[in-house]
Structure 1
Amino acid sequence: MKKKISFIVFLLFMAVSLLSCQNSKGEYEASDHAARNEKDIVLKEQINRTRAIQLAAVGDLLIHDRVYNDAKEADGFNFMPMLEKVETYLSQPTITTANQETMIGGEVIGLSSYPRFNSPVAVGDALKEIGVDIVSLANNHTLDRGEEAIQRSISHWNKINMSYVGSYQSQSDSEKIRVIETKEDIALSFLSYTYGTNGIPTPDGKEYLVNRIDRKKIAKDVKKAREVSDVVVTQLHFGDEYERMPNQSQKDLVQYLADLGVNIVFGHHPHVLQPIEWVEGVNGNRTFVVYSLGNFLSGQEAFYRRIGGMVQLTIEKKYEKDGKATTTLTAPKFLPTFVDFTEASKSDYQVIPMYQLTDEELIDHEQHYQEIKQHLSQWMPELTFIEK
């Protein structure tokens, strides 16, 4: 009797065990199937989605003594009143870059103006506050006050968590490609070079203090940048001062960069605006080029040297069915700006969007504004202008 009962109990136990195993397996298969479906849905959403960001750039910040003297306050310097009318425009894009043409070595080593500049660190603080994310430091004034000004300047950029490119603290610092990655999963790398430094030689063994235009170096840097980013942005300090059209050397160098696969070129140094265009690379790629962004904030007084602006374009990234992504540049826009100041006292400096000007700031302002728009868009008819 005990054997019979034991046998029945054994059969019941096996039945329950088999049922349990079957349920476990069924639950596992259902869970696995759901996970695969969820993964497929995410992949389809990724393939069908285009992500986009806005990149903006402004031109030269060339801080003459009359500009920093105007910013002087009892407890330091404040450049924000000069920039408050353009703050909204610079803070809206996902990434904004500027050409900081003067080192911000600060008062400790003595402020100075043309021909060898050194500016207050408050210039950097103001750029940070209005939304600039990275500054280009390679220009003809980088070595004006020597290595000390550069090191002090970069120390302050690091202190306020501002990215910089074109001038570095050390060789190892110079070898790091500057990459900004956005939450939209779009990575931009930034490079910067200058034609020269006004005859001031770089200290022996310290070539990292300023990037000079060297085609072999640029090609090497571009290759590295393309490996770690979706878009390569190059800032060039080149061209003839005060000339409103690019020279052949500028065009040749831009073509070289386009052939390397550089996506965007922002030009500086002429201190006046030069036109915008698309340049086709050897592989059929298109490179967006602004030959010169002019002066954004400076003490220069000639009319066209008081006009600069902010260029903006949209960068779109779309995933293809094979998982690869393609990046395109669209919707180029421009905000022309004007440096207003009280001429008699050389004070009250202010950067104003040109579309907001009245005859009080600039006689025949509308006529001048229309001429600037035509000048910038002559090679790019689809260029639109920011007017709100």
Structure 2
Amino acid sequence: MAKGRLIGVFVLLSMLLFSCGIKTSEEDVDNARTASSHVEKVKASREPKEQVEVKQGISITAIGDMLIHSSVYDDAWNDTGYDFTPMLEKVKPFISDATISIANQETMIGGTELGLSTYPAFNSPQEVGDALKWAGVNVVSLANNHTLDRGEEAIQRAIKHWETIDMMYTGSYKSERDREDLRVMETEEGVSVAFLSYTYGTNGIPVPEGKGYLVNLIDQERIASEIEVAKEKADVVVLSLHFGNEYERMPNQAQKDLVQFVADQGADVVLGHHPHVLQPVDWVIGEDGNRTLVIYSLGNFLSGQDEFYRQIGGVFKFHVTKTLSDGKTEIEVHSPEFLPTYVKYEQGRGYEVIPMFQLTNQELPNAHNHYEEIKAHMSQWVPELKFIENEKEDES
């Protein structure tokens, strides 16, 4: 009997141990499971991700010749100093209504310490620069036929002032090292713009030996090289070209040929000066099929010249869109706009730049017809050119 009981107890213990072993094994399996180990769940196939497209945009405005004759700076004198801001007050909202604005500073702002002078050897008050800054300009082109009028001293004084007011300048430099520092404006919108500037000559004044950095002369080899560098460092390349024949309202063949050359190099925009009158807007196709936007001449923006077409300039505006898609970047310059302007004054006093669409017949006889003629002239090659005619208020 005792032996039988012992056998029964042994069998019972073995069964208990066996059942415990199985449970432990099952727990081990459960603990080892992951979310993907449940055989009853079938993985859903993932849909391909939608292509992400990001667009970033800026606008750029450009104005023509700031050609400061003695009548203009005399009118800016107010017994305590020079103040050019009232002359730009009515156009400030249109200049500043852009991400970047560039002006052609035709006369060096060497300042009063050097002695002010006018044609044929210009030197202007430094307050001209202050007024441009106030109006919303943040880049100035300095390469033109008057760059060397008063020599290196005027250039160095002018550049020192541009640096003091934090204004980007291009086309004339204080040293070779300064010249090699490509001017690129980085915007908050993530679009970068390079600015280059060149002139056909310097009114016969020789460039000082070893100091070619004082003024960029038009040289196709240099231009091609600098455009190539600019395209690597910036999204958009804008060239200021001082060229053409004075007082001619249409570009000559040399202008067209040079614009075609820079378009073939991949320049995005060309801003022309020197004729002192407006020349039309156009699109030029480069050899790679790229489109280059050009305004052959922006005319005089502020000057003391007194013939009708020399009193007309404008604010040229265009837009840039940068599209990031599928690892690729595309840049598009598009939607050009133009605001014709008129320099109003009487007997050498009261200089004021006024949008032409705001002019009355009292300010300019037959104002409407003159305005319509300018619109037709500027848009003859680009019928879709938009003219800015909405009132803007100065928000500063």
TM-score relative to the length of structure 1? 0.88
In the alignment, does 2:156 pair up with 1:154? no
Q: Check the 8 A contact 2:54/2:325 in 1, yes or no.
A: no
Aligned to 1:274: 279
Per-residue CA deviation, residues 318-341 of structure 1 (Å, 9 max, x unaligned), is 1121x1110111111000000000
Kindly provide the CA deviation profile for residues 100-157 of structure 1, in whole angstroms up to 9, marking residues without a partner as x: 0000000001000111000000000000011001000000000000000000000000
Q: Distance in 2 between matches of 1:70 and 1:56?
A: 27
Q: Which runs of 5+ in 1 are unaligned?
A: 1-14, 27-39
Q: Percent identity at matched positions?
A: 58
The residue number in structure 1 matching 2:383 is 381
333, 337, 350: which is aligned to 2:341?
A: 337
- One-letter amino acid of the counterpart of residue 324, structure 1: K
Superposition pairs of residues 185-224 of structure 1, within 5 angstroms: 185-224=190-229
Q: CA deviation at 1:51?
A: 1.1
Matched, 1:184 2:186: no
Alignment of 1:95-134 (within 5 A): 95-134=100-139
Partner Cα distance (2:97, 2:254) in 1: 34
| Paired amino acid for 1:285 | N
The answer for unaligned runs of 5 or more in structure 2 is 1-26, 37-47, 391-396
Shift of 1:22: 10
CA–CA separation in structure 1 for the residues paired with 2:132 and 2:167: 9
CA distance in 2, matches of 1:122, 1:22: 78
* Counterpart contact for 2:111–2:123, Cα < 8 Å: yes
Specify the alignment match of 1:62 in structure 2: 67
- Secondary structure, aligned partner of 2:373: helix
Map of 1:5-84 to 2, 5 A cutoff? 47-84=52-89
Question: What is the CA–CA distance in structure 1 between the aligned matches of 2:119 and 2:362, rounded to whole Å?
Answer: 29
For residues 227 and 55 of structure 2, the distance between their equivalents in structure 1, rounded to whole angstroms, comes to 25
Corresponding position of 1:355: 357
Q: Deviations over 1:71-115 (max 9, x none)?
A: 002221000010000000111100000000000000001000111
Q: Give the drift of 1:49.
A: 2.4
Equivalence for 1:254 = 259
Between the aligned partners of 1:275 and 1:86, the Cα distance in structure 2 is 21
Q: Deviations over 1:230-263 (max 9, x none)?
A: 1100000000000000000000000000000000
For the residues of structure 2 that align with 1:127 and 1:173, how far apart are their CA atoms?
22
Secondary structure at the aligned position of 2:333 is classed as strand
- Equivalents in 2 of 1:324, 1:296: separation in Å? 39
- Residues 200-244 of structure 1, C-alpha deviations (whole Å, 9 max, x = no match): 001111000000000000011001100000110000000000000
Please give the alpha-carbon distance, in whole angstroms, between the structure 2 residues aligned to 1:180 and 1:62: 25
Aligned residue for 2:185, secondary structure, equals strand
> What are the Cα deviations for residues 49-70 of structure 1, in whole angstroms up to 9, with x where unaligned?
2111101100000000000000
Paired with 1:198 and 1:386, the residues of 2 have a C-alpha distance of 36
Structure 1 Cα separation of the partners of residues 181 and 235 of structure 2: 17
Matching residue of 2:11: none
Q: Equivalent residue for 1:370?
A: 372
Output the aligned Cα RMSD: 2.0
| Secondary structure of the structure 1 residue equivalent to 2:87 | helix
SS for the counterpart of 1:297 is: strand
CA distance in structure 1 between the partners assigned to 2:33 and 2:292 by the alignment: 61
Higher Cα radius of gyration: 2
Report how far residue 183 of structure 1 moved.
Answer: 1.1
4+ runs deviating over 4 angstroms: none
Amino acid at match of 2:337: K
Q: What is the distance in 1 between the residues matched to 2:224 and 2:251?
A: 22
Residue number in structure 2 paired with 1:228: 233
Which of 145, 163, 171 does residue 150 from structure 2 map onto?
Answer: 145
Summarize deviations over 1:294-316 as a string: whole Å, max 9, x none. 00000000000000001101100
Counterparts of 2:73 and 2:328 in 1: how far apart (Å)? 49
